[in-house]
Amino acid sequence: MDERNVLVNRVALVTGGSRGIGRAVAQALAGAGAAVAVNYRNRQDEAAATVAEIERAGGAAIAVRADVAVRAEVEAMTERVESELGPVDVLVNNAGIATIRGVDDITEEDFDQTLAVNLKSAFLCTQAVLPGMRKRGWGRIVNVSSIAARGAGGIGVHYNASKAGLEGLTRGYAARLAADGITVNAIEPGLIDTEMAVPLKESGVADRLPVGRIGTPDEIGQAVLMMIGNGFLTGQTVAVNGGGSFL
């Protein structure tokens, strides 16, 4: 696979694309030739900076604000992307929150908000782009999960549930969309050097990983690009965790 042009003439939408893993994924897709829509909810300046970086590198991108846990905003976002860039060929459901809560501290509001942002948003965005992907007979969907989907994690049970649900959503869509030329996979990052991981970094967990360090957002971007470039890969969750599965 030639990663420099595998997505030429394709349009990609990355939710939560203004920073961290989302920004790295957006840059990787742009580097492979895609025109990229960078979704954000509150971080307008950072989304604009991500777009500017892509444009400086010779790519095409726009920033699109939307709360992807709200159907009306998702539909408006999709319409704008289609109007300015074209129909969405690649969807990366990356938007998420990670509010640390102990078992005795978590509230119903915490639980509902986490599932809405981390899980419901993937459902809404997928449903919004499916008609176009089906019409063209080609689509790639990647959901950004977490090691917390299959382990205890350090965030809380609400986060565990949202990411485990995301992997179930991945398998369900993959089984039903393969015949339409659409692949659906999940990426399961371990500890990655982002703002969200700061509390966990301070715990010294990196010292216990076989590779002896935490991951970088760019390494997740590379893994997402690999998934998108492989039309025979669907319904899978790929763990990118520095050997953390061996612990």
- In sign, the C-alpha dihedral spanning 19, 197, 219, 166 is negative
Q: What rounded mean pLDDT belongs to the chain?
A: 93
Question: What are the tens digits of pLDDT across the range 63-106?
Answer: 999 999 999 999 999 999 999 999 999 999 999 999 999 999 99
pLDDT classification of 1: cutoffs 50, 70, 90: very low
pLDDT at 82: 98
- In the residue annotation, 173 being an active-site residue is answered as no
pLDDT of residue 3: 56
pLDDT in tens, 152-169: 888 999 999 999 999 999
Choosing from 159, 166, 192, 219, which is the catalytic residue? 159
Q: Which domains does the chain have, with CATH numbers?
A: 11-242 (3.40.50.720)
